[in-house]
Amino acid sequence: MRRLAEIPESFFRPALADVVPYEPGKPIETVQRELGLARVVKLASNEGPFGPVPAALEALHRAIGDLNRYPDGGAYRLRAALAERFGLDLAEIAIGSGADGVIGQLAAAVIDPGDEIVCGWPSFPSYVIDTKLRGGSPRLVPLRDGVYDLEGVLAAIGPRTKVVYLCYPNNPTGTINAAVDLDRYFAAVPEPVLTVLDQAYFEYVDDPDYVDGVERYLKTGHRVLVLRTFSKIYGLAGMRVGYGLGSASLIRELGKVRRAVDTTLAGQEAAIASLGPESDAEIARRARLCAEGRARLGEILCENGFAPLPGVANFLFAQAPCDAAALNDALLREGVIIRPMGAFGAPGAIRVTVGAPDELDFFAAALPRALERVAAIGP
Ligand SMILES: Cc1ncc(COP(=O)(O)O)c(C=O)c1O
């Protein structure tokens, strides 16, 4: 007989009461097992379709024998490699368990109960969740035509605003603001506010109007934390390594709230190896393939009655021409995991990640069947 002590919600911090935990995309194995499918393609979590680059795989093999050791909590070698790449000092680089880990560190370092953050909406849910967990209040500024409304963001800044999150490109819409508008924002944002420029998808973007936040804003004295990650084009989402680039005074405070060993030894080694010069050609190849795949994905969606937004990263967002939850369900039965956008604040929409060419073939075949299935069920 087992009887575990239940603990009522009132025992926990009130700030947790209206927090809805982030729900990741469904794992392939779960869908395969639950629906008994031979093949399942996951286009749900904006992961890269390719694994770690060859040098990272070799580093991972080498690291396996050392896993009895704790990693370097300060991630010295990884920060040194990043410092060299970006022309920054070691003290200007924070490492986290994914870029998400850095978002959590920032909330822990700056948000007191009653403090506010401003971000566009729909956007990356962690900005909101981590703020609420600290007792802070997110001010959500609706996107305008699917793009961050920077004037609206500036107007939403109040006396308690500590952080503005600009998701660039925005997840889930994949859109970017024009450089001139971003420049105008940085010229206008009031002094006490820290802007987080989230560039998780930086390496994928080939739009000529897309700017490098490190060169354009960080190195020119703006109060900004630029986020990047190894989870996307580097194919290391499962390793959980991301980073933030900012002034030493900011990074020092993030270091105080970071857990002592936040990233894994294998993750650090794989990330360091990914930055080697021999990886650059592979990363460029992946960016090219992504651009081709994004165009193809756009065609597939348009042919099936969707009007995707002009995304520039490795995913596209569109209002569904039918019930989005039903479409998600029908696609799961076809063996395709996409992301319905309810949790991101856009219940009628879907987001589809650019997969490898054969995954897009699979999606192209599955989508019309799924739409038929939804139509057959009716509203
Ligand atoms: C905009 C944005 N920021 C941050 C992240 C977090 O990435 P990670 O924690 O895997 O580095 C994601 C992941 O999807 C994202 O879309």
Question: What parts of the chain have a pLDDT lower than 70?
Answer: 379
How remote is the CA of residue 357 from the centroid of ligand 1, in Å? 23
The full DSSP string for 70-107 is PP-TT-HHHHHHHHHHHT--GGGEEEESHHHHHHHHHH
Are 258 and 117 within one domain? yes
**pTM given for the model:** 0.96
Q: Which of 129, 229, 232, 316 to mutate to test the pocket of ligand 1 (most atoms within 8 A of CB)?
A: 229
Q: What's residue 379's pLDDT?
A: 65
59, part of any domain: no
Are 322 and 371 a contacting pair, CB within 8 Å?
yes
Q: What pLDDT sits at residue 84? A: 97
The verdict on 272 and 285 lying in the same domain is: no
Q: What is the mean pLDDT of the chain?
A: 95
Range of the domain at 152: 72-278
Same domain for 105 and 163, yes or no, is yes
Which of 278, 299, 330 is the C-terminal boundary of a domain?
278
In a domain, 4, yes or no: no
Residues 274-323: tens digit of each pLDDT: 999 999 999 999 999 999 999 999 999 999 999 999 999 999 999 999 99
**Which pLDDT score, from 0 to 100, does residue 35 have?**
85
Q: What pLDDT, on the 0 to 100 scale, is given for residue 86? A: 98
Reported as a single tens digit per residue, the pLDDT across 81-128 is 999 999 999 999 999 999 999 999 999 999 999 999 999 999 999 999
From ligand 1's centre to the CA of 7, what distance in Å?
32
What ligand 1 atom has the least distance to the C-alpha of 237? Answer: 10
Residues 103 and 89: beta-carbon distance below 8 Å: no
Atom number of ligand 1 nearest to Cα 169: 1
The token pair that represents 275 in the structure block: 């930055």
Pair 239, 150 in one domain: yes
Query: Cβ distance 125 to 341 under 8 Å?
Result: no
The pLDDT of residue 51: 95
Do residues 274 and 286 both lie within one domain?
Answer: no
For residue 95, the domain's CATH number is: 3.40.640.10
Rounded distance from Cα 48 to ligand 1 centre (Å): 12
Closest ligand 1 atom to residue 97 Cα is 9
Nearest CA to ligand 1 atom 16: 171
Same domain, residue pair 304 and 262 = no
Question: Could you tell me the distance, in angstroms and rounded to a whole number, from the CA of residue 295 to the centre of ligand 1?
Answer: 23
Compute the distance from residue 20 Cα to the ligand 1 centre, in Å: 18
| Same-domain status, 303 and 330 | yes
- If you measure from the C-alpha of residue 230 to the centroid of ligand 1, how many angstroms do you get, rounded to a whole number? 9
Same domain, 96 and 41: no
Give the Cβ contact number of residue 183 at 10 Å.
Answer: 14
Q: How far is the CA of 98 from the centre of ligand 1 (A)?
A: 7
Work out how many domains the chain is built from and give that number. 2
The ligand 1 atom at the shortest distance from the C-alpha of residue 240 is: 10
Residues with CB under 6 A from ligand 1: 46, 98-100, 124, 167, 171, 198, 200, 229, 231, 237, 242
Tell me the CATH number at 300: 3.90.1150.10
- Closest atom of ligand 1 relative to the 241 alpha carbon: 11
Helix (H), strand (E) at residue 324: helix 324-334
158-174 as b/e, with b when 16 or more CB fall inside 10 Å? Answer: eeebbbbbbbbbbbbbb
Among 100, 233, 352, residue to substitute to test ligand 1 (most atoms within 8 Å of Cβ)? 100
CA of 69 to the centre of ligand 1 (A): 28
The C-alpha atoms of residue 96 and residue 102 are separated, in whole angstroms, by 5
Asked if residue 184 and residue 46 are part of one domain, the reply reads no
Residues 298 and 271 in one domain: no
Please report the pLDDT score of residue 31 as a whole number.
82
Dist. CA 28–CA 33, nearest whole Å: 9
Residue 127 lies inside a defined structural domain of this protein: yes
